[in-house]
Amino acid sequence: MDTKTYIESGVIESYVLGMADAQEAAELEQLRRQHPEIDQAVLAFENALEKTAMAGAVAPRPGVKQQLLAELDFEKAGSSRVVSLSPWRYVAAASILLLVASAALNIYYYNQFKNTASAYQALLLEKNSLFAENQNIQTKALDLFNNMQVMSDPAMIKVSMKGVPGKENTLATVFWDSKSKDVYLLPNQLPKAAPDKQYQLWAIVDGKPVDAGLIADCNGLCKMKNIPAAAMFAITLEKKGGSPVPTLDQMYVAGKVG
């Protein structure tokens, strides 16, 4: 039996407050004997209800006791005289008891509501965070799959661009579609550019550099410009936004086609 779910079902509160039907009460009495945690939950709610009621209690003013005895027409202690009470006094007493019980119950359920609302908000935030993380993972996985498809395509011409003298630790790879002439770049090992700088890819066509696109933030392969023909490719570091001509002393990698 899932005792935690049973305890949180509200049947214990109904039982203690006298609102449970005979079948629920009998079942709870039996389960209390079988499961100590259910018995503890019943005692805990009874204690909580009692503490809540006592916390809101107000001490009567002096003389209330004598006034009540006088109104109830007690002549002396131990008197056998039949006391004549107005029915409205019973109604008033019952109303007071109901008011106290109702106030205690309202306080209890209000506290329960606050705790439940806080737990719900925490779960909602966790759910949204997990959902966003899952979406991010799915996006990266899809990009990786597409990149693998591109790089493994037999129509792709792979051009490895190694670091130029002084920048031997740099490396980048061009994947050039021999059919569509689309160019994709994999910036394997390029230092992070300064905020005001940006890497630019160049295609060398008939001995002249042709802008093949700026390298922006991309997940894996970067889609560059379409290049119909080229003898080699190179990458330079330019000012942000690119340059119409390459800055040769800022070349990082270069590689011949074929």
Task: Find tokens 């629920």 and name the residue.
Answer: 24
- Domain coordinates in residue numbering, the chain: 3-75+83-128, 156-256
- Separation between Cα atoms, residue 43 and residue 7, nearest integer Å: 12
Comparing C-alpha atoms, which of 74, 8, 70, 68 is closest to residue 37? 8
187-246 pLDDT, tens digit each: 889 999 999 999 999 999 999 999 999 998 776 789 999 999 999 999 999 999 999 999
φ and ψ at residue 182, rounded to 5 degrees: -70, 145
pLDDT at site 12: 86
Long-range contacts from 138-144, C-beta under 8 angstroms, 24+ separation = 139/219, 140/219, 143/219, 143/220, 144/219, 144/220
pLDDT at site 159: 94
pLDDT at position 24 over 70: yes
Q: Is the pTM here over 0.75, yes or no?
A: no
